[in-house]
A and B are shown apart, each in its own frame.
Chain A
């Protein structure tokens, strides 16, 4: 599913070269529930950008769902993101002037799906996250937890092989956060592959496998009992 080989990312910071990712080789099989944990500056955001096909590595290889991503251009990456990845961000990142259902439909618009099918699938996705009631509300009219559910529905709508969540509970109170984690767990039980990037140990523990990253290297890889 996810296979990286000696994945390395260097940044030029003035005269220094920062090794944000240093020779990361990892394998995440289909249907996993993995959390990538590490303090800020550890390289976890860089790893997330790589896994999320938002950026290409300085060296090394990345195969997602059998496709070599590391040499793609911007347009090819956009297409891969659209088809293979569902993003969930810390700040929900819904488009404020679009209603819940319009936000959820957005990936399908870029995939070129017709409006009738979009609407049907968006309703289905919103139903999966338990939000079939408020589909015509704009984000400002929804609570944080509800907004994050909309974001998850948006991530689910293309049936992507990978759902990538970056601190998905970071902006939520603990109760809403727990609900969102519950939602991820049930998605995992239904066969989705989920990768959560977090600095919160408590959240990380709820995954099936924990990858700990420090100074751009994977320093721990363990199954949660």
Chain B
């Protein structure tokens, strides 16, 4: 069987499995639809959380980004794991004790205000949409590469499948599907990682191979990589090139953002007890860490292998060698492109210090015909530096199995894993959006008399709209998959995290403070990002940034603004009513002061 057939088979089987689970566990009541009846065992919830949260960006793009960023890639590794410590320690147990369906529910009740609830709903919807667009793009990328359909068609197929999930299953269906999706995605990630670790470093454990000597005996992998980097004019792999302040702020924004993402928080409403909420955050991080400690190893292996393969090689030699056929394959998909600037027939891959940089402007657009060496011709405007090679970052994970010469079923497995990662996250996000609309907006604000059946129906209808909008952004994406997702984190960091923390740890925080804080935080962050990404992208460089903080890291500043504004406003406005302060007390004890005094 060839790769194509294997891919159809494995992807088909996994889809059948997910759909089977979704049908078996479809939701009837609102409690089942929104929080899976609060009956999910902590271990399963940890797994579902991991799948919910590890997105197409984690699976497809992250290792690629790290591969190109070297040390700077640590922002994603620490940023997307460290938030779970905050979740477990500062949020999950208390929100579980609170025992409602959504984050806006908490904000609305804790701040005794429908205005606060509305602001929270808008933030939740905004954050979730930003995030879900990246997932749709990821689905499109996987489909286009492995099933050979155009990216946009891939997105449409993905939309259809996600729609099916989220509409039918609600949280209950999604949770158990996500458990299966976690197993698929981690297996699909680990198998090629183990093989490539054996191939390059001679040990089956990628985390160790990362720090090992190369199997050809030419020294430690990371030392070799640093050497190659300096030879080709890149900054050392283990040093990175971002300013320290930016690394600090981006990492913080990602951590706090993780802890403020509504689709992550809501997962802790689905376990039976406060104790379960704590431990399931721990399990979630174990399952996440498995992929996250493997990713940087894969990044280093792939980077080394890529440089070693293409450096100063003749294009024809690469194209003819059966071991490097992947180069041609990926050129075919447009994720690689080569333009022979100095017409020597060899590939020059150079970094900034050797007069390198982007080989040409923008993403490759291919012209008719082939060049002198048989390469695909591009019609982009060339840049005046010496680098000739364009490499899309997403290629690192997608092409790894081929680069390591693995059998076709492994390549098919990666396709299934990428889809599992994208679909599980998309479904979780769409659920948050539909819950926000049906429960927080329509039930709580517009029509409190809504019966359960109608509420579930409305939730299902709003999923439909959400999928369409998400699909639109997937087809017209604002940046790399991982970067789009990074913005959602900034927005979550600057809106939810502070209000929830203060709602639990600062009894005197009142509604005026919370609303003013959320609004100022998210408006500042969104304005900064929109200015640099959409209004004036030409100015998006360190000279124009506030204190040298990039749009990716600005959520940290937004969060600080949120905290500061809330405090000041809370000091000059009336304290919250007595019963709210008692509510806060009851959140703090698993068994609860409120319950105890009622006996």
Chain A complexes with chain B = no
Q: Interface residues, chain B, CB within 8 Å of chain A?
A: none
Q: Interface residues, chain A, CB within 8 Å of chain B?
A: none
